[in-house]
Amino acid sequence: MTTSSSLRPRLFVSLSTSIPLLSALLAFAPFASPAARAATPTIAASAPNARPLAVGDLAPDARVRTSDGTELSLAAVLAEKPTVLVFYRGGWCPYCNRQLAELAAFEARFLELGLQIVALSTDAPAGLAPTAAKDKVAYRLLSDRAMSAASAYGVAFRVDAATVEKYRGFKIDLAPIPGEPDARWLPVPTVWVIGRDRVIRFVASDPDFKVRLPAAQLLEAARQALAAPAK
């Protein structure tokens, strides 16, 4: 794996096979192993410092919640079928809404590949249904308000105080960091393709929250990643 910080947008993508359409955007970053994450702090100081789990890593379990507040094992959800797992910021984010709606429009094509789409955010359970209705989403939206999944997957980061206050001015109160009621966190928007064996086959992540991988490119990446042997 090579490392580059000169390409913009800094889209970290790990592929089991190459995709010509994406090749001009590819940059890679070093990742800590899941075992190392368990022994070290799991919230980054900023979005660029986050290190999402990489291809070949085993997707960890985490406790998340449905729209009615029911607690779920994320590992059990992933065991149902190969999964496109999406971390988005929240239903208040227009870039997230655009991404969720586009994925909804492509959902039938992902289902044809045998993939389910599951999306997690910082939203409280009560906020999931309104987002699903607004973006015409039929796939599962889950709440990771407690930062359990985002921490385990390496995408949680600490939001600086000035940004927290700016969002409060828009009546957006970000999720508190567990154990730090005055601090706030967000996930770096990230998408993984994960096999039923929970091995990660593809990851695309960018610390710039305005940058999202188009659904058509994600579909092709998923097609190639599932066709290739797991690493």
pTM: 0.85
pLDDT in tens, 117-131: 999 999 999 999 999
Average pLDDT value over all residues in the chain:
86
Adjacency order of strands within the sheet including 180-187 = 156-158, 180-187, 175-177
Query: Which pLDDT value is given to residue 231?
Result: 58
Q: Is 94 exposed, middle or buried (0-12, 13-18, 19+ CB in 10 A)?
A: exposed
Q: Sorting pLDDT into bands at 50, 70 and 90, what band is 230?
A: low
Other beta carbons within 10 angstroms of residue 119's beta carbon come to 24
Is 13 in a helix, a strand, or coil? strand
Question: Is pLDDT of 154 > 90?
Answer: yes
DSSP assigned state of 151: H
Q: Is 68 exposed, middle or buried (0-12, 13-18, 19+ CB in 10 A)?
A: exposed
pLDDT in tens, 87-118: 999 999 999 999 999 999 999 999 999 999 99
Please report which helix (H) or strand (E) contains residue 64, including its range.
Answer: strand 63-65
Pick the CATH number of 42-227 from 3.40.47.10, 3.40.30.10, 3.40.140.10, 3.40.50.620: 3.40.30.10
